[in-house]
Amino acid sequence: METKTFNLTALSENTEQKFYEILKHKISIQKFERWVYESEIESELPHDIYVELISLNYKSKFIFNELERLIGRLVDKGKFEIKKLKAILKSIINRDENCAASIEMTYDLYYSGYTFLRRLGLTYGLLVSCPPAGNYLKTWDEITTKEQNELLEKLYPDIIADARNALKWLENDKIIIKDTVNELGNYEFEDLRTKEEVLQGEVEAIDLDKQPNKRVNKRKSSFWSRIKNWWRQ
């Protein structure tokens, strides 16, 4: 069934949140099905969409494809992606109980295409993902609590300023997350930062070998040497 054009503002925040959660597999299909039957979303949706939503076979192996077809266009996924990014950055700034996971997430996000998180991801996130205390072979959970705390003491307070920069770019619409994904399935974004702001998000400058064929290896070697020296301080 082809759905008609729909105004996103007609959805309540709670309904759009539930749609987003099921589309991103953040809640179980059973929980979403119960919510559909028990909620009062009929007044928020076009009649044909509502009827099809309550008529779906939620035990079908294709249910997520069906939901994406039916309600995918009703959700501004970019808006929720921004909320997620802000939550991660605030976790780092506040150094809450999840800050280590949030720091590590910046590394994953950078490599998923968010190049504006380059400094956070490579300067800090990589160290949490591959801690020096484990000779870069252990995960965060595999090193001791003492080693974890020692590493966090190395990262703070410098990381706070860098996280605040990234948060400011999102809040001031210098980085605009779009509701579209690239060929790798990652959200696209528009970068409206100034040259100075772009430099704030780059990894600390290092000397590069002038010979083009050695440039990459020299960068990698210099980067890790700087990290190891910093950790030994």
> What is the predicted pLDDT for the residue at 233?
52
Q: How far apart are CA 14 and CA 119, in angstroms?
A: 34
The reply to whether omega before 212 is within 30° of 0 (cis) is: no
d(CA 18, CA 71): 11
Which pLDDT belongs to residue 134?
Answer: 82
Give the start-to-end residue ranges of the domains of the chain.
8-75, 78-202, 206-233
Question: Is the per-residue pLDDT at 70 higher than 60?
Answer: yes
User: If you ran DSSP here, which 8-state letter would residue 49 be given?
Assistant: H
Where residue 207 falls among pLDDT bands split at 50, 70, 90?
very low
Contact 85, 170 (CB under 8 A): yes
Q: What is the pLDDT of residue 183?
A: 81
**Per-residue confidence (pLDDT) for residue 135, from 0 to 100:** 87
